[in-house]
Amino acid sequence: MPTRALLLLSTTLLLTQAAHAAPKPCDELKAEIAAKLDEKGVKGYEITAVDTDKVGDAKVIGSCDGGSKKLTYVRK
């Protein structure tokens, strides 16, 4: 993963962790993260909400729906 994209993803992860105390619906959190990535010029990614126990090796970038789901990030 390019350094710039990793830095942007790390920043986004930190921002979502700060907001972790207030549970959000997955669609709302996904839209917020996507907007921040788009604003930074990140292209070719996919954010998906999956059940917490189905994450596997995916990169987790947030938690939603009261902790029952995780948002995962993958470059296309």
Q: Above pLDDT 70, what percent of the chain?
A: 72
Query: In this structure, are residues 47 and 30 in contact, taking their beta carbons and an 8 Å threshold?
Result: yes
The residue extents of the domains of the chain are: 3-75
**What is residue 2's predicted lDDT score, i.e. its pLDDT?**
62
The 10s digit of each residue's pLDDT in 10-23 is 666 666 655 545 67
- The angle, 0 to 180 degrees and rounded to 10, between the axes of the packed helices 3-18 and 26-39 is 140
Q: Residue 74, exposed/middle/buried by CB under 10 A (0-12, 13-18, 19+)?
A: exposed
What pLDDT, in 10s, does the model give residues 34-56?
A: 999 999 999 999 999 999 999 99
pLDDT value, residue 71: 97
pTM (2 d.p.): 0.69
